[in-house]
Amino acid sequence: MNRDPFIAFGVPDLGEEEIQEVVATLRGGWLGKGPRVTAFEAQFAAYKGLGPERAAAVSSCTAALHLSLIAAGVGPGDEVITTPLTFCATANTILQTGAVPVLCDVDPETMNIDVRNISACVTARTKAVLPVHFAGRPCEMDEVLAVARDHGLAVIEDCAHAIEARYRGAPVGTLGDFGCFSFYVTKNITTGEGGMVLARRAEQLARIRRMSLHGMTQDAWQRYAGRGFGQYDVVDCGFKYNMMDLQAAIGLHQLRRLDKARERRQEIWSRYQAAFHVLPVTLPAPVPQHMLHALHLYTLRVDERDSRIGRDEFIERMADLGIGIGIHYKALPEHSYYQQRLGWRPGDTPVATSIGRRSVSLPLSPRLTDEAVDRIVSAVHAVLGG
Ligand SMILES: *Cc1c(COP(=O)(O)O)cnc(C)c1O
């Protein structure tokens, strides 16, 4: 049995600056939505090449997706086209608006929504398309936007994996009508829990802001900071989806780590690519010139017919060697809820189902030391090298 410390999947990269800022926030006594959230929004928008007040911080990417769908006017009776190879939140938020997700299978190489199939999924009820930039690789947005233009659809980009990604030079999340980001612990940057929305149209972003705080016209910061009298009006039936200053305190410093952290992940990624191309597994596809990959997930596909070992056994043997492996994702039609409610079957999206049954994600945290990366490389060789 292995004695080295366990290498967990998805370890966040937190520094002393984050700790000090959280402590300062606690000492300052303003924990909720306030000046640090406003600063985090402005700095995130600037990172995306946008002016201040172009981004709204929320409690999660799930909240960001839900509010974007609502702002896009998606509701009961509508359909939203999305990918089957994603986290359940993508589909759940569509269902929560009263609309129905329509799955468009993925491209076997890129693992992104297959842009050649989107228009075949469009019906008279289709209101929006919700692509996910899987693993941090941008979708072919020219094609997505062309279909959306032809059919008058809103485009909501799920950028949970893709903070740093660019498509033809433009930051992802600014290409469609809405861009939704996650700061969950395992994502490229974290606020513990948290999310961000970008919206192309100012009035839609204003609605998202309102809807993230009960549908009130003024937020609590404005109500209680100065000499507010609590003169707010409720103009919409909103949610409690705001971010807190305690979370933004972490995010402000995480943003400053983005480029360095991606550089480190690029080193690890290149090491993996060089080490694994000799093994009987499928590596991530090469990235074309017109894309910058955010390098969120490094996935291998373990096919028992080639590898002589099944995916689940791979994960168990890696765990025995002290290495935590992720799965992204069991395809949506494999989950019982969608089978029962929507009648989905794994065979409906054969490419995503096949990937979901074979895919493993290796640790890719910028926190990994060279020794840890060596251990991971050796373990994958030991398990798959035969
Ligand atoms: C993580 C994730 C989400 C949800 O993000 P939260 O911030 O945890 O709500 C949505 N979509 C994808 C593709 C994700 O990976």
Is the distance from the beta carbon of residue 157 to the nearest atom of ligand 1 less than 6 Å? no
Centre of ligand 1 from the C-alpha of residue 198, in Å: 15
pLDDT given for residue 298 in this prediction: 98
Tokens 């807190």 identify what position? Answer: 244
Assessment of whether the complete model's pTM goes beyond 0.85: yes
Q: Is the pLDDT of residue 365 over 60?
A: yes
Q: Answer whether 161 contacts ligand 1 (Cβ < 6 A).
A: yes
Query: Rounded distance, CA 333 to CA 338, Å?
Result: 6
Query: Does the CB atom of residue 62 touch ligand 1 within 6 A?
Result: yes
Q: How far is the CA of 17 from the centre of ligand 1 (A)?
A: 25
For 82-95, what is the mean pLDDT?
98
Q: Which atom of ligand 1 is nearest to the CA of 182?
A: 7
Cβ of 195 closer than 6 Å to ligand 1, yes or no, is yes
- Residues 149-166: tens digit of each pLDDT: 999 999 999 999 999 999
pLDDT at 232: 86
**Is 89 close to ligand 1, i.e. is its CB under 6 Å away?**
yes
Q: Which residues are catalytic?
A: 187
Nearest to 363 by CA among 271, 274, 288, 292: 271
Pick the CATH number of 258-384 from 3.40.50.300, 3.90.1150.10, 3.40.50.800, 3.10.310.30: 3.90.1150.10
In tens, the pLDDT along 245-255 reads 999 999 999 99
Closest ligand 1 atom, CA of 62? 9
pLDDT of residue 24: 98
**What are the two backbone dihedrals, phi and then psi, of residue 129, each rounded to the nearest 5 degrees?**
-125, 135
Query: For residue 227, what pLDDT band results from cuts at 50, 70 and 90?
Result: low
- Cβ of residue 364 lying under 6 Å from some atom of ligand 1: no
Question: Ligand 1 centre from 115 Cα, in Å?
Answer: 22
pLDDT for res 229: 57
Q: What is the mean pLDDT of the chain?
A: 96
- Per-residue model confidence as pLDDT tens digits over 305-332: 999 999 999 999 999 999 999 999 999 9
pLDDT given at position 2: 60
Q: Which amino acid is at 157?
A: E
- In terms of Cα–Cα distance, which of 337, 331, 338 is closest to 352? 331
Give the list of residues 6+ apart from residue 187 with CB closer than 8 angstroms, or none. 160, 161, 163, 296
CA of 1 to the centre of ligand 1 (A): 35
- The reported pLDDT for the residue numbered 250 is 98
pLDDT at 225 over 80: no
Round to whole Å and give the CA distance between 47 and 40.
10
CA 259 vs CA 9, 46, 295: distances in Å: 21, 14, 12
Look at residue 47 in the predicted model and tell me its pLDDT.
98
Q: Whose CA is nearest to atom 14 of ligand 1?
A: 160
Residue of 182, 185, 191 to mutate, ligand 1, most atoms within 8 A of C-beta: 182
CATH class of 16-105+112-256: alpha beta
The answer, yes or no, to whether residue 223 has pLDDT greater than 70, is no
Q: How far is ligand 1, taken at its centre, from the CA of residue 61, in Å?
A: 5
Residue 93 near ligand 1, beta carbon < 6 Å = no
Query: Average pLDDT of 82-109?
Result: 98
- The residue contributing the CA closest to ligand 1 atom 15 is 160
Task: Report how far ligand 1's centroid is from the alpha carbon of 373 (Å).
Answer: 26
> What are the domain boundaries of the chain?
16-105+112-256, 258-384
Q: Is 87 touching ligand 1 by the criterion CB < 6 Å?
A: yes
What does the block give as tokens for 5? 């410390």
Q: How far is the CA of 101 from the centre of ligand 1 (A)?
A: 16
Mutation pick for ligand 1 pocket among 158, 178, 183 (CB with most ligand atoms within 8 Å): 158
